[in-house]
């Protein structure tokens, strides 16, 4: 058995893989969080709840309607995105005028309500979701077993992250969005429907969280608490990465997942707090985050 | 002009005497309450009144939204419970060491988080508190999910037996009153005025030669210390320190109490705390989803009643007084 720093290579590689998967989820979620913050100036506390909602919608589609993984992966984000659009349009929009604090508290309440509702209806226990048959196998690399589904998660997560980056940085719609962040009233004066653009942004980012939930369903079980566990970590990711750059957020998410996986190997007891310790260190050295700008 | 000024002084004098009457009534009610209501329930309300008021000191008077105050509240509860149970500390020493712990923790958290403002500040305090939560899960002495149970209440100054809930109630009442007095003094001191100035316009406060971060840090540390006092009192009077008190839900709930009662007012958070604790108490037997209801109340408050119960009442009163 090959050993690296006294640890079997298989264990090490396994944890790195797990770290990459967690990192992909962190990247997808913190990407949405950072974009919502950038465009709407709202810290979306309900992001974790929407992630949970995505997982639950996928699970409900499967167990009540018999709709399988692949359609579910498309339907769940759309449903979650629509819910997000409606809540932005009817409620969240009225809080842009007042202190940011209130939109944060509002989404905090929404997260509590959603989590409480699902816990009440479905109970706290996790609900297993089967892996899609097409992705159930894996490759034996000699030193470790590589499940196919996990490769799929990493690949699709990276593709979606890249797509989002491309849409914002390289398309006309993205240019409108970025302009609307800088000066909403001027962009509105040019005939761009800024309020609609904001609704679209919120719906898209929340849908992204729903998509992440659907992706996570076969790996972790679907449970009402699944979002709350991730939420605080992605907050830390956003603080570490800084809000300024999309690429920075994606990279930070991935890197933190891997670092967390590695600490599980070397200091198992510290793995839960690694992200927060890194956050403290980064704050001491670079208060605006690794990729952040002063704002 | 002169007529107007006399009426204002007349009004304010009447306001002062009214306020005195209200205050005396409040003290009388607090002293008489345990003969009518279950003392343990009252102690819970008192602890949360102090906790919410401590949070309000930074949220309402310095404009800092901390989402990590559960770390001080729950952390101090663990320290008080452990020192009283395992190390055999007497009541006073257990409370003191818990407050010392939360003060120190508050200083460290404040030092780290005050570098950033607004939303970032909230996120950083939240993440730091979550670290304490994970430590509480993993450390052997906290008892994990079960918490520390059967904490002895001990004797006050080695004489007064606190095992009796009525006695315990009056001790808690005295300490909470002391905590509230500290907050009241702080808000009305020159220090409190500087805090208000920083909240209103930080750039101008800086230009006047003040150092906002230093003031914020002192206020944050003081708030952490008082939250710790509340947590320690809760742990000793309920004889339990649990994981629930360090969760981020707790941090959110105390902000909700402050918001419901009225941010930036002195008695608002107390009203909010009493309201939320009483509501939870009566809902807990009903089988309804408490978290869901709390979340919805949160949303409704933010959308419709941003001034809180006390703030809305006062605004209504002032409107009416203005019309007459």
Chain A residues whose C-beta is within 8 A of a chain B C-beta are 37, 43, 91, 94-95, 98, 100-102, 104-106, 108-117, 119-120, 228, 232, 235-236, 238-239, 269, 272-273, 275-277, 279-280, 283-284, 287
Residue B16: predicted pLDDT: 67
Residue B14: predicted pLDDT: 56
Residue of A nearest to B137 (CA): A272
Residue B132 in contact with partner chain A when CB distance is under 8 A? no
Residue A191: predicted pLDDT: 86
Residue B131 in contact with partner chain A when CB distance is under 8 A? yes
Residue B50: predicted pLDDT: 93
Higher pLDDT, B142 or A42: A42
Per residue in A13-28, pLDDT (tens digit) is 888 888 888 899 999 9
Q: How many CB atoms lie within 10 A of CB A192?
A: 16
Cα gap A36→A104, rounded to integer Å:
12
For residue A139, what is the DSSP state?
E
* Structure tokens that stand for A116 in this block: 């409480």
Q: B115, A287: Cβ pair inside 8 Å?
A: yes
In angstroms, the Cα distances linking B58 to B110, B259, B293, B307 are 11, 13, 26, 17
- Residue A198's nearest CA partner among A173, A165, A229 is A173
Per residue in A73-85, pLDDT (tens digit) is 899 999 999 999 9
Residue B158: predicted pLDDT: 67
Higher pLDDT, B100 or B283: B100
Q: B126, A232: Cβ pair inside 8 Å?
A: yes
* Structure tokens that stand for A98 in this block: 């007042």
Per residue in A43-75, pLDDT (tens digit) is 888 999 999 999 999 999 988 888 888 888 899
Residue percentage of chain A with pLDDT more than 70: 96
pTM given for the model: 0.85
Nearest to A110 among B135, B293, B295 (CB): B295
Nearest to B123 among A91, A235, A280 (CB): A235
Q: Residue A264's pLDDT band (boundaries 50, 70, 90)?
A: confident
User: Considering chain B, what is the average pLDDT of its residues?
Assistant: 83
Residue percentage of chain B with pLDDT more than 90: 21
Q: B299, A106: Cβ pair inside 8 Å?
A: yes
Q: Residue B10's pLDDT band (boundaries 50, 70, 90)?
A: very low
Assign A145 to helix, strand or coil.
strand
Residue B110: predicted pLDDT: 92
Q: B123, A287: Cβ pair inside 8 Å?
A: no
The ipTM of this complex is 0.80
Element (H, E) at A202: helix A194-216
Element (H, E) at A158: helix A148-170
Which residues does chain B have within 8 Å of residue A281's beta carbon, measured at their own beta carbons? none
Residue B93: predicted pLDDT: 85
- Smallest CA–CA distance, residue A270 to chain B, in Å, is 9
Whether B7 shows a pLDDT value over 50: the answer reads no
Q: B115, A115: Cβ pair inside 8 Å?
A: no
Question: SS3 string of chain B?
Answer: CHHHHHHHHHHHHHHHHHHHHHHHHHHHHHHHHHHCCCHHHHHHHHHHHHHHHHHHHHHHHHCCCCCCHHHHHHHHHHHHHHHHHCCCCCHHHHHHHHHHHHHHHHHHHHHHHCCCCHHHHHHHHHHHHHHHHHHHHHCHHHCCCCCECCCCCCEECCCEECCCHHHHHHHHHHHHHHHHHHHHHHHHCHHHHHHHHHHHCHHHHHHCCCCHHHHHHHHHHHHHHHHHHHHHHHHHHHCCECHHHHCHHHHHHHHHHHHHHCCCCCCHHHHHHHHHHHHHHHHCCCCCCHHHHHHHHHHHHHHHCCCHHHHHHHHHHHHHHHHC
For chain A, how many residues are written?
295
Whether B143 shows a pLDDT value over 80: the answer reads no
Residue B27 in contact with partner chain A when CB distance is under 8 A? no
Most confident of A73-87, A235-249, B138-152, B238-252: A73-87
Per DSSP, helices labelled H in A41-138 are 47-65, 69-90, 100-122
Residue percentage of chain A with pLDDT more than 90: 22
Q: Residue B15's pLDDT band (boundaries 50, 70, 90)?
A: low
Which residues 6+ apart lie within 8 Å of B47 measured at CB?
A: B172, B176, B230, B231, B233, B234, B237
Cα gap B163→B172, rounded to integer Å:
13
User: Residue A43 in contact with residue B123, Cβ under 8 Å?
Assistant: yes
Mutate to test the interface with A, among B287, B292, B306 (most CBs of A within 10 A): B292
Per residue in B152-167, pLDDT (tens digit) is 777 777 677 767 777 8
- Residue A293's nearest CA partner among A137, A181, A148 is A181
Residue B1: predicted pLDDT: 36
Per residue in B292-309, pLDDT (tens digit) is 888 898 888 888 888 888
Which residues does chain A have within 8 Å of residue B293's beta carbon, measured at their own beta carbons? 116
Per residue in B41-65, pLDDT (tens digit) is 888 899 999 999 999 999 888 888 8
Which residues 6+ apart lie within 8 Å of A238 measured at CB?
A: A30, A33, A34, A37, A249, A289, B123
- Residue B225's nearest CA partner among B59, B113, B91, B105 is B105
Higher pLDDT, B155 or B239: B239
């Amino acid at each position: 058995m090959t050993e690296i720093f006294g640890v079997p290579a298989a264990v090490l590689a396994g944890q790195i893989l797990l770290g990459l998967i967690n990192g992909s989820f962190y990247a997808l979620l913190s990407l949405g969080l950072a974009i919502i913050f950038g465009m709407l100036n709202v810290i979306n506390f309900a992001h974790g709840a929407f992630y949970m909602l995505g997982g639950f919608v996928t699970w409900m589609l499967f167990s009540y309607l018999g709709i399988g993984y692949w359609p579910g992966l498309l339907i769940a984000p759309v449903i979650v995105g629509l819910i997000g659009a409606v809540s932005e349009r009817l409620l969240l929009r009225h809080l842009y005028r007042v202190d940011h604090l209130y939109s944060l508290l509002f989404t905090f309440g929404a997260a509590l309500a959603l989590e409480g509702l699902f816990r009440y209806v479905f109970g706290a226990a996790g609900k297993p979701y089967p892996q899609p048959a097409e992705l159930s196998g894996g490759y034996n690399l000699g030193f470790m077993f590589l499940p196919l589904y996990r490769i799929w998660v990493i690949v699709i997560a990276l593709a979606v992250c890249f797509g989002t980056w491309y849409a914002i940085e390289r398309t006309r719609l993205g240019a409108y969005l970025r302009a609307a962040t800088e000066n909403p009233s001027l962009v509105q004066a040019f005939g761009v429907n800024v309020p609609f653009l904001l609704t679209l942004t919120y719906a898209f980012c929340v849908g992204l969280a729903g998509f992440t939930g659907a992706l996570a369903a076969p790996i972790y079980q679907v449970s009402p608490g699944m979002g709350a566990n991730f939420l605080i970590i992605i907050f830390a990711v956003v603080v570490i990465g800084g809000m300024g750059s999309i690429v920075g957020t994606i990279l930070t998410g991935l890197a933190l997942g891997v670092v967390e996986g590695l600490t599980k190997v070397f200091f198992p007891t510290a793995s839960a707090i690694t992200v927060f310790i890194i956050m403290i260190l980064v704050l001491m050295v670079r208060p605006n985050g690794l990729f952040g700008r002063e704002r | 002009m002169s007529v107007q000024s006399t009426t204002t002084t007349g009004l304010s004098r009447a306001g002062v005497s009214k306020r005195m009457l209200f205050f005396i009534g409040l003290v009388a009610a607090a002293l008489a309450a345990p003969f009518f209501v279950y003392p343990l329930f009252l102690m819970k309300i008192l602890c949360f009144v102090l906790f919410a008021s401590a949070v309000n000191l930074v949220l309402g008077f310095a404009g800092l939204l901390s989402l990590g105050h559960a770390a001080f509240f729950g952390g101090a509860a663990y320290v008080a419970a452990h020192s009283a149970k395992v190390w055999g500390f007497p009541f006073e020493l257990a409370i003191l060491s818990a407050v010392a712990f939360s003060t120190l923790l508050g200083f460290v958290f404040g030092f780290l988080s005050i570098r950033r403002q607004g939303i970032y500040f909230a996120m950083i305090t939240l993440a730091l508190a979550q670290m304490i939560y994970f430590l509480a899960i993993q450390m052997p002495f906290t008892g994990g999910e079960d918490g520390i149970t059967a904490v002895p209440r001990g004797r006050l100054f080695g004489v007064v037996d606190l095992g009796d809930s009525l006695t315990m109630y009056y001790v808690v009442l005295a300490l909470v009153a002391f905590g509230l007095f500290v907050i009241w003094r702080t808000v009305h001191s020159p220090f409190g005025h500087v805090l208000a100035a920083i909240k209103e316009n930080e750039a101008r406060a800086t230009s006047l030669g003040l150092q906002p971060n230093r003031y914020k840090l002192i206020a944050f540390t003081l708030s952490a210390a008082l939250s710790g006092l509340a947590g320690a009192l809760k742990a000793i009077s309920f004889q339990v320190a649990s994981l629930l008190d360090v969760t981020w839900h707790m941090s959110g709930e105390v902000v909700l109490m402050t918001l419901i009662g009225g941010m930036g007012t002195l008695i608002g958070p107390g009203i909010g705390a009493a309201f939320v604790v009483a509501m939870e108490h009566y809902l807990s037997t009903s089988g309804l989803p408490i978290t869901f209801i709390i979340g919805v109340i949160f949303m409704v408050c933010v959308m419709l009643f941003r001034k809180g119960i006390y703030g809305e009442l006062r605004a209504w009163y002032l409107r009416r007084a203005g019309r007459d």
